[in-house]
A and B are shown apart, each in its own frame.
Chain A
Amino acid sequence: DQQVKQNSPSLSVQEGRISILNCDYTNSMFDYFLWYKKYPAEGPTFLISISSIKDKNEDGRFTVFLNKSAKHLSLHIVPSQPGDSAVYFCALTDSWGKLQFGAGTQVVVTP
């Protein structure tokens, strides 16, 4: 049973524009939410996170929004740059620290 869903397998965005990635979850027990970025032939790297007591966290060009009532998480990248082309995974964890990953969204930033 997939508890973490990224329904958009791919996203194409023009350089300089905003990229919006979405993630939905089903289990209200998740209390920490993370985004990871993955380039081909490399392991995922941590990007940004948010705890369940917040609804927004910002780090430079990256902002994560959490809507607990809708069980929805999103990542905004603005402005998008060619180096942002990668696969983005949302990952959720409960108090035990066991991460569950979404299927990933392939982002392609075009010139």
Chain B
Amino acid sequence: DAGVIQSPRHEVTEMGQEVTLRCKPISGHNSLFWYRQTMMRGLELLIYFNNNVPIDDSGMPEDRFSAKMPNASFSTLKIQPSEPRDSAVYFCASSLNGGANEQFFGPGTRLTVL
């Protein structure tokens, strides 16, 4: 199994640009999570999908952030417009039936907004 796949691994962009992060969960997993890791706030959950439906998006920082899961094998996290304070490592994770079960994390996307 290839595990959770994230792309790109690194992204450098300028303030105001749109950024799209991509995630392919493990085949058969029906729960998908987007996390952000920063020095100040640590690892924080942004949004959680179950069976492609957003269940909890209370962690999404503001309207500039949006996430979609059009099918069971693909999800995107979009930031528009991006700001320097969005610089962080963004992780995608998947699991079978919810967050209490083992979540498998992707390698992360390191985003730098100049």
Give chain A's interface residues, CB within 8 Å of chain B.
Answer: 31-32, 34, 41-46, 49, 89, 93, 95-104
Contact = CB atoms under 8 A, between A and B. Distances in A.
A44 B98 CA distance: 17
Interface residues of B, number: 23
Interface stretch (B12-20, B64-72, B77-85, B101-109): B101-109
Contacts of B31: 97
Contact of B107 (A42, A49, A93, A97): A42
B101 to A, nearest CB: 8
Query: Which applies to chain B's interface (DSSP): helix, strand, loop or mixed?
Result: strand
A100 to B, nearest CB: 7
B42 A101 contact: yes
Contacts of A89: 43
A53 B52 CA distance: 31
A93 B31 CA distance: 15
Contacts of A46: 102-104
Given A99-B45, A102-B42, A43 B91 contact: yes
Q: In the A-B complex, list the 7 residue pairs whose CB atoms are closest, starting with the nearest.
A: A43-B105, A97-B99, A97-B98, A101-B43, A46-B102, A32-B100, A103-B42
A41 B107 contact: yes
Given A100-B45, A103-B42, A93 B99 contact: yes
B92 to A, nearest CB: 8
Among B42, B55, B102, chain A packs the most CB atoms within 10 A around the CB of: B42
Given A97-B31, A101-B43, A44 B105 contact: yes
Contacts of B44: 101
Contact of A49 (B56, B93, B102): B102
